[in-house]
Amino acid sequence: MNTALLSIVTLWVATLFSTVTPHPAQTGNQRSTTDTLVVTDTVVTADSVIDWDKMSKAERKEYMKKVVLPKMKPIMHTFDTKKFADVKCGTCHGAGARNGQFKMPNPELAKLPNSRAGFEKLMKDKPQWMEFMAKTMKPSMANLLSLKPFDPKTGKGFGCGNCHTTQE
């Protein structure tokens, strides 16, 4: 997906979530959206700042194991107890995690649409997932990796495309 289209879609998705009306069942900061999906406004922060780009593969692996996984696992499990019943490295990194390949973006994850119309359909079909990814997963991972969040103006920063590939 080109940067201009991704920027437009990112801005559009952000405006949608800035006007989300709480679900009637909302209590505290949790909103029950179905029997199994719970969207929270939880954003995880790191206990320290790291330089992800300068870390060795071994340092990255250790950081993911000791910091990222323990912080993200309960949030993912709370969101969808079935899909995220057993969160492990392979949950995000796919089959490559078993042989030490942690390549991202991971083509085994759900593919992103390559058009605004595709994102509109995804927002309609899976609003809880889109909200969870935009409000919890993406900002939490950016924080934990000490990376700036995606900026649609510059086309740089941590965003959806860091984990997900796009449809052809």
As a whole-number percent, the residues of the chain with pLDDT over 90 amount to 66
On average, the pLDDT of the chain sits at 82
Q: Where are the domains of the chain?
A: 3-17+32-162
What is the pLDDT at residue 10? 52
What is the pLDDT at residue 46? 85
3-state secondary structure of 82: coil
Strand 38-40 relative to strand 30-32: parallel, antiparallel, unpaired?
Answer: antiparallel
pTM of the model: 0.78
